[in-house]
Amino acid sequence: MSDDGKKWYVVRAIGGKENKVKSYIENEISRLGLSDYVEEILVPTEKVIQIRKGKKYNMEKVYFPGYIMIKANLSGEVPHAIKSVTGVIGFLGETKGGDPVPLRNAEVNRMLGKVDELAIQNENVAIPFVIGETVKVVDGPFNGFEGTIEKINEEKRKLEVMVKIFGRKTPLELSYMQVNKIS
- CATH number for the domain that contains residue 151: 2.30.30.30
User: Lowest-pLDDT range, 5-9, 113-117, 168-172?
Assistant: 113-117
Mean pLDDT of the chain: 83
88 with 147, same domain: the answer is no
142 with 94, same domain: the answer is no
92 with 164, same domain: the answer is no
Mean pLDDT of 64-86: 88
Q: Where are the beta strands (DSSP E) in 38-124?
A: 38-42, 45-52, 55-62, 67-72, 88-91
- Residue range of the domain that includes 103: 7-120
Centroid of chain to Cα 48:
6
Q: Is residue 162 part of a domain?
A: yes
Per-residue pLDDT tens digits for 82-94: 988 999 988 887 7
Task: Give dist(CA 99, CA 182) in Å, integer.
Answer: 56
161 and 146 in contact (C-beta within 8 Å)?
no
Does the pLDDT of residue 123 top 60, yes or no? no
Q: Can you tell me whether residue 35 is helix, strand or coil?
A: coil
Does the pLDDT of residue 121 top 90, yes or no? no
Task: Give dist(CA 164, CA 138) in Å, integer.
Answer: 15
Q: Is residue 43 part of a domain?
A: yes
64 with 116, same domain: the answer is yes
Mean pLDDT of 144-150: 92
Number of domains into which the chain is organized: 2
172 and 161 in contact (C-beta within 8 Å)?
yes
Per-residue pLDDT tens digits for 3-47: 477 889 999 999 888 999 999 999 999 999 998 888 989 988 877
62 with 87, same domain: the answer is yes
> φ, ψ for residue 54 (rounded to 5)?
80, -5
22 with 107, same domain: the answer is yes
28 with 63, same domain: the answer is yes
Does the pLDDT of residue 2 top 60, yes or no? no
- DSSP state letter for 101: P
Report the percent of the chain where pLDDT is more than 70: 87
